[in-house]
Amino acid sequence: MPTPGPHSRSLPRAALAVALAAAAACAPDSPEDRIAALRSRYTASLNSFAVEQTPLEPAAEAPADTPLLDPIPTRDDVMLDVLVQRRSDEPLPGLTLDVTQVDGERREKRHYRIWIDVSQITKGRGQSVSHRLPDVDFEEGDGFHVEVRHPVPPEERGEYREFSPGG
């Protein structure tokens, strides 16, 4: 039977140290890292959008035979229908989505961050969530893109509500 060498007792300790280091590397370091890890388990994509025009002033009563000469000013609100999916066991109460508005040439016109309630979205199944963007400068040919941004740089996390205390 061979005699144990000088390093035979350190092998189990070394294996334990490697296992502990690997476990520590997998665990989030802070509450913000935990939120970032949970955010990474969500996806969002735009199903559709609709533009709703709201008159800014009530139409004046005019006799029935008088043609309307001046157009009534309106405000364009955009209703987004977003499919959100969750792949984690632990839910977030809400999620900040990045929404990009593009023109007909697919150049970015505007960027929005919207907060949506995702507390009722179950793991594995997608759910449609509606959100209204008020007073959008919308032109025919414009489009929208929705995403869960990941990763969110630490210096920008203040712009994402879920990273705030009580988020």
Per-residue pLDDT of the chain (167 residues; tens, 9 = 90+): 555 555 545 555 655 555 545 545 555 589 999 999 999 999 999 999 999 998 887 655 656 666 667 788 999 999 999 999 999 999 999 999 999 999 999 999 999 999 999 999 999 989 999 999 999 999 999 999 999 999 999 999 999 999 998 77
How wide is the angle at C-alpha 131 spanned by C-alphas 120 and 72, nearest 5°? Answer: 155
| Domain assignments of the chain as residue spans, ordered by start | 31-53+74-163
94-102 and 143-147 strand pairing: antiparallel
For residue 13, give the H/E element and its range.
Answer: helix 10-26
Fold for domain 31-53+74-163? Immunoglobulin-like (2.60.40)
Q: Which residues have C-beta within 8 Å of that of residue 108, sequence separation ≥ 6?
A: 100, 101, 102
Tell me what pLDDT residue 67 has: 64
Tell me phi and psi for residue 43, to 5 degrees: -130, 155
Query: What distances in angstroms separate CA 129 from CA 85, 138, 165, one per listed residue?
Result: 10, 21, 24
Report the pLDDT value the prediction gives residue 6, as an integer from 0 to 100: 54
**CB-CB contact of 16 with 51 (8 Å):** no
The one-letter code for the residue type at 109 is K
Do residues 138 and 78 lie in contact, with contact meaning Cβ atoms separated by under 8 Å?
yes
φ, ψ for residue 49, nearest 5 deg = -145, 155
Q: What is the pLDDT of residue 125?
A: 81
